[in-house]
Structure formats: C-alpha cells, structure tokens
Homo-oligomer: A and B are copies of this chain.
Amino acid sequence: MDFSGAQSVDRALGLLALVGRHAGRGVGLSTLVEESGLNKPTARRLLLALMRAGFVEQDEATRRYYLGAESYVLGSLAAPRYGLLQFAMDSVVRLSRQTQDSAFVSVRRDLVSVCLHREEGTYPVRTHALQTGFEHPLGCGAGSLAILAALPDAEIETVLEANAPVLAASYPLYPPERIRADVAATRARGYALNPGLIVANSWGVGVAIRDRFGRAIGALSIAAIDTRLHPPRQAEIGALLAAEATRVEQKLAQRQSVYFTPVPETPRKSA
C-alpha cells in the first residue's frame, strides 16, 4: 500500500462531483462518459455503487442521473464548517432585486471556483453564461477573478502554474499574463471585472468573501449583457457587492466562532 491506491474510488468520486456539477438539470450516461474520460461499463458500474449508497439517483423514466439524498445530508453536516451558501443566500437575493440582473455566490474549491447558487434577475435580457454547478479555473470569470485577486501573491503563482494546462487547453483568452494583469486591475479597482471573456457580451462584476482569517473562500457576483455594465454602473455594483460581502463575512465570523466551541465527545449509535 503505497501513496496512491483505491483508483476506482478516485474515479467514483470524480463521477460524483461531475454529477453534482450538473445538479438540477441531471446528466445522461454518455455525457458523463465523455466528461470523465471513463468508458461506459466502468462509469455505469461506479454509478450503480454511488446509487447504492444514495449519493446519486437515477430518474426511472429519463434515465438521467441526479444527486441523491445522501449527498444532501452530507453537505448539511459539512455546513457548520463551510456554510457559505446559507449565509450568502440573503445577500444574493437582495443583490439580484436591487440590480435586476442575475446574482451569484461562488465558492473556492482548490484550483477552481464553483457556482453554488444563481438568483435570476428580472431584467428581460439575461445572460446564462453562469449556472449553478458550473466551475472555472480561478481567475476566469468575475467571481473567480475576485477570489484569485484576494489571495497572497505566492499562492496566485502556485494556482496559475497548477492551472496552466487547463487554461491553455480550454481558455484561449486567458493566458497567465492576462490573468496577472487582471489581478492587478482588480486590486486597484476594488472589484473584479469580466468583460465577456468566457461568453461574448456576457460581462460580470465580482467581489471576494473572506473568512475570519482573511482568506478568500468565495465571491459574490453579478452578470449582465455588456451594455448594462458600462463603467459608472460597474462601480455602483462593485460597491453594492462589497457591502453585501461584508455582511456575509460578519455572519460567517459569528457562526465560525460558535462552531469552534469545544464539544465533548459523546457515545453514539450507528446503523
């Protein structure tokens, strides 16, 4: 038993994450096969295991795969430690109401940022470039860039290096130098701007959310078509985002201190 081992577990967990990224819409087997790089029998076998454990469910009629109840239970149990969504929800709703555009919370997950929630705007022309579950390398997209820019310089370099292959392969508009420049601009401005680099005409403004120790753990952002994000409105929205980010940070700090209250070990029953 050296370092690695348990390869089927790695693959299964990768699949599970993949199903999660499609939550809400559901995924077909062939999409999963394609995105995971596994082959059909293997993917299916692992999905059966995930279903046995309740982490994934399959719609009998459409045969599409969705996250299962156990995934939800697990996340709820992890919430005291990482509960960004529950504290950011109010802010996202408020932002979307105030701006009439779609608002988002994203969370940092290692080298990428994942969109946890999208609150639909009321303005009739909307961009659907970002949806719940979508992920982008840190630095690509408004929220994602806001998170990156809030990291220490050394960490930024580590992240960019680790992301280099993905960036080169799938984000042609994002060479590392461009991201470094964006980081500088973000810091100078106070908010991150994505001028339609992922989907043309779909612009975004984002601000980072930090934990009690000052580490960037996520971001709030707003997306709209380019004509609705001219510089003066950018700055306005940037200020709104910053104010809401502060509120979220306060709630987080409060709950985190509760969480770190020592809890005595207790006997338990297990199934």
A94 at the interface (CB under 8 A from B): no
Give the residue of B48, B77, B135 whose beta carbon is less than 8 angstroms from that of A20. B77
Find chain B residues with CB under 8 A from A52 CB: 10
* Complex interface: chain B residues within 8 A of A266 (CB): 25, 128, 131
Is the C-beta of A14 less than 8 angstroms from some C-beta in chain B? Answer: yes
A135 touching B271, Cβ below 8 Å: yes
Given A9-B50, A46-B6, A128-B266, A24–B80 Cβ distance below 8 Å? yes
Q: Report if A54-B110 is in contact (Cβ < 8 Å); known contacts: A5-B45, A79-B75.
A: yes
What's the minimum C-beta distance from A105 to chain B, rounded to whole angstroms? 9
Please tell me if the beta carbons of A77 and B133 are within 8 angstroms of each other in the complex: yes
Q: Which residues of A contact B (CB under 8 A)?
A: 1, 3, 5-6, 8-10, 12-14, 16-18, 20-25, 35, 41, 45-46, 48-50, 52-55, 66-86, 89, 107, 109-112, 114, 116-117, 128, 131-137, 166, 170-171, 198, 259, 263-266, 268-271
- Are A269 and B135 touching (Cβ within 8 A)? yes
Closest 7 CB pairs of A and B: A75-B75, A72-B82, A13-B53, A6-B49, A67-B78, A9-B49, A72-B78
Q: Which of B74, B84, B111, B170 contacts A17 (CB 8 A)?
A: B74
| A24: chain B residues within 8 A (beta carbon) | 77, 80-81, 259, 263
Is there an interface contact between B271 and A132, defined as CB atoms closer than 8 Å? no
Given contacts A10-B52, A12-B6, A135-B269, contact A73 B23 (CB under 8 A): no
Q: Are A73 and B269 in contact (CB under 8 A)?
A: no
Chain B residues within 8 Å of A54, by CB? 109-110
How distant is A36 from chain B, measured CB to nearest CB, in Å? 9
